[in-house]
Structures are given as C-alpha cells and as structure tokens.
Amino acid sequence: MMQIPVPAHIHYETLLRVLERQTVSAVVQADHAGLEELQELMRTLRKALSQQKHLEERWERQGLQVDPRWSYEQP
C-alpha cells in the first residue's frame, strides 16, 4: 500500500501554542501594530492544519495510508 508522508500534526500545534501563549503577549507590549499580522499568521497555520486533515481523510477514504513525519530526515 502506498504511504503518503505528511508533517505530524504536533508541528502545527507546537507553533500555534508558542505563538498564542508567548509571542502574542510580547507583541502586544513591543509591537502592538504587528498584532494583526501575527493573528493572520495564526489563522494561516490553523487553516493549513485543517487542509492537511481534509487531505488525509480523503486519502484514507481512497485506501491510501497517511504516514505522519516527525522530521525531514525520516525516510
């Protein structure tokens, strides 16, 4: 069965947690004008994760196996 390599979801989740819990508060204090751009980045990451999940569901319905990758070096 063909395996389709995809980034593990934790990569998106880790980025979002750091941005939400640490970056936002620093930006509010240091560069309030940049907050909107930061929020757009977080929306983009959420959308990317959602799109990846949608593709994974599609491929699984087609009988393909999704292979979450933890690193670029993983064969």
In a 10 Å sphere around its CB, with 0-12 CB exposed, 13-18 middle and 19+ buried, how is residue 66 labelled?
A: middle
At 2, the pLDDT band (50, 70, 90 cuts) reads confident
The pTM score is 0.86
26/12 Cα distance (integer angstroms): 20
What sign does the CA torsion over 44, 67, 59, 3 have? positive
pLDDT in tens, 4-61: 999 999 999 999 999 999 999 999 999 988 999 999 999 999 999 999 999 999 999 9
Cβ contacts of 19 within 8 Å, gap of 6 or more: 38, 41, 42, 45
Taking the CA atoms of the chain, what radius of gyration do you get in angstroms? 16
